[in-house]
């Protein structure tokens, strides 16, 4: 039904309008008697072999939703009913901000990709925490992807990340520090060795001082060189990170089927989906190999099939996340991946 009816309908709308349309209707529909049970019957797949313990947390299955889809923690119960083993909300900033001007989200159907320059549009950490406090599905692992406000100078960025940790600590199971989005000016400068060590040390110090410190992860860009990836591994060890999320969107436009002129008209932004598949897998494999498999990795980037998910896991990922593949393939993708994992 998704491929024959819903997807063709949704793809007639502007990408961001379609996103909000799905959110509104899923939220309304979930309130109807019997809908949660129906969604679970259609899309959820449970099996003891799917359970994972990663950075000390019990995941009921290894398939999660990447940050960027449910920025404001609006649909965590609903997404859990679709079969996700965990949901990463955000990116959340301390204060609400509108993000970049619209239009800012574009499909590349020929490439099964998306370009976004959303710019951390969100309602702020306090609003996300309030929603999470009311959620019903307490078995669903929740990650908090955190960032800095656009108008916060890089020199003061640590205070923004710490504010998010303090606001969300009681409501999330792990944190992801996002310094790899290409859509906030100068943010990726924080990926350089010295600024990143300083940032992570400050955030980790505050995290460890709170009751029941949360696992702290770092989300990295796919555009890093091998030398920069080596630095990331050293920094992860020095700042006692629990794991990495590999990878964020790319600024590369190489190898696209979509006409170059059309891509250029769309403008700047991070590219996700199928074009990112191989690079993300290569980064995961490199990090896993050079950490000797000791640093857990959440693999994300171009997962559009069970085979794509298995590729990430074989490369060294402990868990995987969907975003663009979820949009192109629909909710049945979660179930198909979990079924393939059990069969394997």
Backbone angles phi, psi at 135, to 5 degrees: -70, 150
**Residue 224 CB partners (closer than 8 Å, separation 6+):** 191, 232, 283
Cβ neighbours, 10 Å, residue 195: 16
Q: Are 174 and 55 in contact (CB under 8 A)?
A: yes
- Residues 6 or more apart whose CB falls under 8 angstroms from that of 197 comprise 235, 238, 239
Q: Report helix, strand or coil for 331.
A: coil
User: Annotated catalytic, 181?
Assistant: yes
Give the containing element (helix H, strand E) for 87.
strand 86-92
Pairing relation of β-strands 105-108 and 113-116?
antiparallel
Measure the CA–CA gap between 271 and 280, rounded to whole angstroms: 12
Task: Compute how many other C-beta atoms are within 10 angstroms of the C-beta atom of residue 216.
Answer: 24
Burial class (CB in 10 A: 0-12, 13-18, 19+), 278: middle
Residue 172 is classified by DSSP as -
269: part of which helix (H) or strand (E)?
A: none
Q: How many CA atoms lie within 13 A of 265 on its CB side?
A: 8
**Catalytic residue chosen out of the listed positions 180, 181, 272, 291:** 181
Taking a C-beta distance cutoff of 8 angstroms, is the pair 23, 75 a contact? yes
Query: With 0-12 CB in 10 A as exposed, 13-18 as middle and 19+ as buried, what is 66?
Result: buried
* Residues tagged active-site: 181
């Amino acid at each position: 039904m998704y491929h024959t009816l819903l997807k063709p309908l949704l793809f007639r709308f502007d990408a961001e309008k379609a996103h909000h349309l799905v959110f509104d209707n899923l939220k309304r529909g979930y309130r109807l008697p019997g809908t949660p049970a129906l969604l679970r019957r259609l899309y959820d797949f449970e099996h003891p072999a799917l359970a994972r313990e990663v950075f000390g947390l019990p995941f009921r299955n290894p398939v999660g939703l990447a940050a960027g889809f449910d920025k404001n923690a609006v649909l965590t119960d609903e997404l859990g009913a679709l079969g996700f083993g965990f949901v990463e909300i955000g990116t959340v900033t301390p204060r609400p901000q509108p993000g970049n001007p619209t239009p800012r989200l574009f499909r590349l159907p020929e490439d099964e990709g998306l370009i976004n320059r959303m710019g951390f549009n969100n309602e702020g950490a306090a609003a996300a925490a309030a929603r999470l406090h009311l959620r019903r599905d307490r078995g669903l692992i929740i990650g908090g992807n955190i960032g800095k406000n656009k108008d916060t100078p890089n020199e003061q960025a640590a205070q923004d990340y710490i504010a998010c940790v303090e606001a969300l600590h009681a409501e999330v199971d792990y944190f992801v520090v996002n310094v790899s989005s290409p859509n906030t000016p100068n943010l990726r400068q924080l990926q350089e060795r010295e600024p990143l060590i300083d940032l992570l040390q400050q955030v980790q110090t505050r995290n460890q001082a709170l009751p029941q410190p949360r696992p702290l992860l770092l989300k990295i860009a796919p555009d890093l060189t091998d030398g920069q990836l080596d630095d990331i591994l050293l920094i992860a060890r020095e700042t006692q990170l629990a794991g990495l999320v590999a990878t964020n969107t790319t600024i590369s436009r190489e190898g696209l089927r979509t006409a170059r002129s059309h891509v250029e008209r769309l403008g700047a932004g991070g590219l996700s989906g199928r074009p990112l598949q191989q690079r993300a897998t290569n980064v995961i494999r490199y990090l896993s190999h050079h950490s000797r498999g000791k640093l857990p990795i959440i693999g994300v980037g171009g997962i559009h099939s069970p085979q794509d998910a298995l590729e990430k896991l074989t490369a060294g990922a402990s868990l995987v996340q969907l975003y663009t593949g979820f949009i192109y393939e629909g909710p049945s993708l979660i179930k198909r991946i979990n079924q393939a994992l059990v069969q394997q």
